Each structure stands twice: as C-alpha cells, then as structure tokens.
Structure 1
C-alpha cells in the first residue's frame, strides 16, 4: 500500500461521487496539484446509484462496470480502507485510524451518510445497501427462491425491493406506513405503485414497525403489532445518518444536523470545504437545506473542487433526484412532502403526471412522474412561484405531463 505523504495540496475525505467530482475539478483547474483521497471504503469510488438501479436491471451486474476511475483519470492518490479519525483545522492536518498524519493546504469533507441499522443485530444475513461490498453480499444472498424481507417503504426500500425481483427471490416489502412512499407522493401514485409491486410478485406489508430481529436458523423480524415475518435474509432501508463526527469534533459549525457552508462551500474552519450529503447550503430557490442525492453530490463536489483550486464561484444550484420503479420513472426538484398541498396534472391516459407541492401558496417542489426533459422548466416554475410571479391557479399549464 502507498504510504501517505507528509503533505498534500488537497486532501479529500470520502470516496464517493462528491469526492470524485472534486478531484476532477481540482485537476482541471490546477494540473500540478497533489491530491490525496482518503476513503474508508475498501473499494474504489463507484457511481453509487447503480447499486440499487442499473446493476440489477442492466446487462452487467459487475460493480466494476460502475467504477469512476478517479485516481487513474485525475492523478490523485487514492487511499482505500483509510478511515480519518481526526480533522485538525488549527494545524491543517488529518489523522487516520492507523495513526498516520498528513497536512493539507485545502481539505474537503465529502463523508456522505451511513445507513441506519437495528441496534445489537450482528448477522451477515441482515444487510444495508450502501457500498460495493454490500451489493456483492446481497447478490450472494438473493438466490432463486430465497425469502428476502426488505424493511422500509421509502426511496431506497422501494428501489431495492424492485431490484430483487430480478433475482428470482421471494420478496416481501414491510414498512411502517400505510402506503408506499406516502411521505412523498399523492394517493393516485402510491396506489398505482402498490398495484405494480403486487403484480411483480412483491408482498407488501404495511403498518410494520420493526422492533427487533431474531437470528436463529432463519431470521424472524418482529413488529410493534405483534406480527412476525420469517426470512432467509433481510435488507434494511431505514434511511441514513449524516457522517458529521469529523466536522463536529473538529469544531466546525453545524446546523440542522449538517455542516454549515458559505456560498463557496467553505466551512467555518479556514481552508476546509464540504460537499455532498453533509453540506448545509443555501439553495437559490429554497433556502438552507442539505440534500442526499447524487446530482447534488456531483454538482457540489465539482464546485468545491474549483474553489479549492482558487476559483470564487458561488454554488447556486437546485439539485434534482430521480428513480425508476419497474416501468415507471420520475425526476423531481425541491421538496416533495405529502403533507403539503399537492396539485396534480395528468395526461389523458393517466400514465404521466406533474405534481406541484405548495406551502403557503408557493411551490416548494415539483414531481415529474413519467415526464421527461422538464427539470429546468420545473426550476423555473419554482422560482416564479417563490417570487410571487405565478399563482397556484396558473400552475396547471406550465409543464405538460408526458
């Protein structure tokens, strides 16, 4: 293994899409800079959305097909299986779990998020899907006929359940709510999704609030309603927690559970930047927020890298997110919260829709359901509504569904 040098121009902490984008931006702007990428993951950076999407539905299930080739294409030195345990802004240095110390001129926190687990359950048949190792392990468990319970009816849980149907496994999707993705979508879409999942052989179990898992010869998952599910393997889609320990212990300012950054993605510590999931940034349309999706990771990573290399370019971007669930797909911008007022516009055959999410009469988010090439227009609608230039009554004709 290559040893850490005593000093680098740029140290990037994290091994995901934001780290990759930052390294590319630094190399373009500063060709002679030295760059170290310190990743706790034992694998090279990959395009992480593929772990629950393309690798299951495409022709190539090998995660190496999704490698970002960061080191080869940027000249950065990549250190995998390298956990950074201390960020020391006062001395412009970081310390790894092996006790290695290196100094930086500029550092980037791109530490992302970690999946939530069930406390005190340690069994290799209970998995989360966040890394290449997780994906490979789940592939091994998802044999033809295996009983697999996915816990969680949100973004990641629904994607994993849909993906697993490609393996021949018997898939059950258990979630605490009454309807799939009910926190984001109107009833017209959640009802359609439940029918689609059922048609693809998935058993959907609503109202299942996981309390614990027994790990005997088979797994037994217990809920608060005294209901139990038996399985050969379980996949937890219980959300994620931001990896902000380094920032917190390094004395950086945090708010809303994320790392506070200025318009240039600089943190409160000199020469330390943050990008991706952990950054609390000022969205030009929606104000302070942190976003846990790949589009933001790519865009903010690139912006941070440019600024680390000397640019002074404000990060003025409202990211999108997207998913595919069997034959349906969507893109979305802003906040999708089903507790808001939702105004739906459907096409004639009710296959495609545009849903506007309003709070106090202003659009906070737009869902483009089976509707494509409209993300930029959705941002324009949000901006016009936020500025008082578009009333709720004028929304229906702004974006054509389909």
Structure 2
C-alpha cells in the first residue's frame, strides 16, 4: 500500500508541473495534487537562467519562482527521485523507499544535460537548473576566464550573457561558423558577428575531448590537440529526454514517450508532457519539442485532460532566443541542411527564412529579428502557398 495517495500525481517539478497543476485547477478545485521533484527548488521560470537574470537589471531573483504551491494547493516534495512505476498498482516508488499512489499520473521528467569528460569540480557546470545558475553566479568574478562549450541556443545565450558580465569568454562549438548547422550561411554570418563584436572569442569547428585540472586552474583539451586555460567551464551541450521511468514501466517509447493527441499514453491513467512527450502535432506531425512554450502549453493541456477535459492538444509551439539585443523566433524544423528560401526584409538585419523538405513543402520558419509573427508562421506551415516563389513576402512584420 502506498504511503500517500493523490488524485493527481506529477513526476517532475519544472514548468510542465506548474502548468499542469494550474490546468487541473481550472476544472477541479478540490482534487489532491502531488508533485515529486528531483530539483532542490520549487518550479521556476527556466528561460531566465540564461537570459534575463544576466542582462535585465530590472529582473530580480524573486521573480523566478512560479509560486505553484501557493496558487494551486499542490503538495510538493523536493529532492526526491522516482525510480519505479507500477502501473497495475497505480504507485510510484522513490529512491528513499517511499511510495505514492495516484488516480491519474503525469510524467513530466524533462531532460538531462549531456556531460563533458571532466572531473567533479564546482567550477565545471553542466548548465540546466537554478542551482547551476546560482553556482555560476557565485563562482564568477570580473575578468574570469570562462570557456563555454556548445554552440546551441543555451551555450550561445550563456556566452553572450557572461561576456556582458565582465567575463573573458571563449565559446567552443563544432560549426565552422557559429549557428551554421541551424541557420543558412547569410544568417549564420550575421549571428557570429554579434558574438565577435560583443567580445566573445570563438573556437569554431572544434569539440572538447576532456577537461582536466591544471594546478589551480582548468585545462580544456580540444580535438585539434590544443588546450584552453579556464577559471570556469560551462557546458551547454544539449539534453536527452528522461524516459527511463516510462520505458521500464512498459510504456511505449521512441525518442520520447509516445502519447496521443490528448497527451495520454496507452495506459488510460498515465499522461506525458513537455520534453519527453512524442506527440502528434496538429501542424508538424509526430514530434518532440524541448522548449518552454511547449512545456507550459502541453503541461496545461495535460492537466486539463487529467481533470476530464475532452479536448486535444492543438498548440504548435515556438522557440526563441535573444543575444546582444537581437531576438529570433521559430516554428518547426530549423536545419541548415534543408533547402531554404530567404526573404530579407531589411538587408543584413531582418529576415524570414523558410525551411523546405525534399518535396518543397515548408516545415520550419525562422523569424530573424521579426517579432510577434509566430501565428503567421503557424498558419503558413498549416496551409503553405503553392510555389516557393510565393513565400517571398508571405510574412511581414
């Protein structure tokens, strides 16, 4: 028998959990909600960790928490890892041996960061959580030599943020031009220039083989045989979905937890949302998304579904990033290997880029320095024009 039982149990304590609890409360004022989180902090707004907390002096730490417990009445257990799921008994088991029963269960286990070959050292941070942010803040000092590893949007945002906080930053990334695997060459060239002009030293076309201790400093060994001295190393190497719990319980997984249009698994009592959900997007087809817009929207949708809403998850999420004052947004696939159509609104400043599949159908839209047009991008992907020439001018600020 479970030690504690909840009407609604959420495994994972991030933004999905917060949104799900709120979604439940939209339809059920009284059902008990439990949230089991491996984090040491209550749910918080994750994007701020690599954006506003570094660059917006008006954004303070007290704006980071989402106040989930206060607003929803959920019971939150922190620093607890769920290691087992018994779907027949409708229980989950934690690493301390405690078991929790549920009426309906949401898996919101999120992702885990890829890690470097590196010693366990406070100055080497695989950046993901609020705890990581606070550790980086505590270790950072003016003039510190920081090596950021990874040219994706988290690594890039951190490199931009840190150099604007008086650090000497070197960004190591695998593309010959920063952003080259994501953006077409003209955009990638502009993107890289933002970092060069901002004072970031770039080591493109390189990968880190190992980080080692070098006296009181750190040595970052690259695949060309060179090494970089560092006071701090920050890794933003992407993430992998945390799907082991679902897989071990016998749920269907395939680069994510397979769910239907209501975000429910084949088990009628179990849902999945956020990073781990492999869901049928209304526009993009079956996909898995790791960005905040999807976390909050799918979390709310799953919470409502758990509470009895007869509705499907219709939202096609967008992603965004901002560095050195330039913001870009996107819907769908961004892959520089795809055929692209570039529509430059202002030369070298504003553009809409369409990514096309092998059949010439748009599957992704990049809005470079073009804001508030994600709905237009969704509409175009849902009902694209007949020819590629008609893409020019299809979306305007």
Question: Shorter-chain TM-score category?
Answer: over 0.9
**Residue among 7, 16, 19 paired with 1:21:** 19
The residue that corresponds to 2:390 in the other structure is 394
Q: Which residue is equivalent to 2:322?
A: 324
Q: Indicate the SS of the match to 1:254.
A: coil
Aligned residue in 1 for 2:292: 294
Superposition pairs of residues 370-389 of structure 1, within 5 angstroms: 370-385=369-384, 389=385
Partner of 2:240: 241
Cα displacement (A) at 1:180: 1.0
Distance in 1 of aligned mates of 2:191 and 2:139: 26
Asked if 1 retains the 8 angstrom alpha-carbon contact of 2:3 and 2:98, the reply is no
Deviation at 1:228, TM superposition (A): 0.9
Q: What is the match of residue 275 of structure 2?
A: 277
Aligned equivalent of 2:186: 188
Counterpart CA distance in 2 for 1:267 and 1:121 is 39
Which contiguous aligned blocks of 4+ residues in structure 1 show a shift greater than 4 angstroms? none
1:382 Cα shift?
0.8
Instruction: Tell me the distance in 2 between the aligned counterparts of 1:171 and 1:303.
Output: 40
Structure 1 residue 5, shift from structure 2 partner: 5.6
Does structure 2 retain, via aligned residues, the 8 Å contact 1:342–1:358?
yes
| Residues in 1 aligned to 2:371 and 2:174: alpha-carbon distance in whole angstroms | 31
Residue pair 1:123, 1:215 contacting (<8 A) in 2 also:
no
Correspondence 1:107-256 to 2 at 5 A: 107-119=105-117, 121-216=119-214, 217-255=216-254
Partners of 2:382 and 2:206 in 1: CA distance: 39
Give, in angstroms, the shift of residue 119 of structure 1.
3.7
How many angstroms apart in 1 are the aligned matches of 2:117 and 2:305? 40
Among 251, 259, 282, the alignment partner of 2:257 is 259
Name the SS for the 1:182 alignment partner.
Answer: coil
Query: 1:26 deviation in Å?
Result: 0.5
Does the 8 A contact of 2:117 with 2:209 survive in 1?
no
- Contact kept? 1:343, 1:357, Cα under 8 Å: yes
Deviation at 1:60, TM superposition (A): 4.8
Report if the CA contact (8 A) 1:63-1:132 is conserved: no
Number of corresponding residues: 394
Alpha-carbon shift at residue 269 of structure 1 (Å): 2.3
The 3-state SS of whatever aligns with 2:116 is coil
Q: What is the alpha-carbon distance in structure 2 between the residues aligned to residue 37 and residue 72 of structure 1?
A: 13
What displacement does 1:154 show?
1.2
The secondary structure found in structure 2 opposite 1:329 is strand
Distance 2:36 2:144 in 1: 37
Structure 2 gaps of 5+ residues are none
Following TM superposition, by how much is the alpha carbon of 1:102 offset from its aligned partner in structure 2, in angstroms? 1.3
CA deviation profile, 1:356-377 (whole Å, cap 9, x unmatched):
0011210000001111121111
Which ranges in structure 1 are unaligned for 5 or more consecutive residues? none
- Deviation per CA, 1:74-112: give whole Å up to 9, x if none: 010111111111111111011111111111000000010
Is the alpha carbon distance of 1:119 and 1:91 closer, same or farther for their aligned partners in structure 2, counting shifts above 3 Å? farther
- RMSD over aligned CA atoms reads 1.3
Aligned mates of 2:332, 2:48 — CA distance in 1:
22
Query: Within 2, Cα distance between the matches of 1:23 and 1:59?
Result: 31
Contact 1:210–1:223 at 8 Å: present in 2 too? yes
How far apart are 1:61 and its partner, in Å?
Answer: 6.2
TM-score with structure 2 setting the length = 0.97
| SS of structure 2 residue aligned to 1:350 | coil
SS of alignment partner, residue 167 of structure 1? coil
Matched residues in 2 for 1:290 and 1:328: separation? 26
Q: Residue 104 of structure 2 contacts residue 306 of structure 2 at CA under 8 Å; is this kept in 1?
A: yes
- Tell me, in whole angstroms, the C-alpha distance in 2 between the residues paired with 1:183 and 1:352: 19
Could you tell which deviates more after superposition, 244-253 or 191-200?
A: 191-200
- For the 8 Å contact 1:53–1:163, the answer to whether it is kept is yes
1:350 CA displacement: 3.2
**Partner residue of 1:70?**
68
Cα distance between partner residues in 2 of 1:328 and 1:382? 24
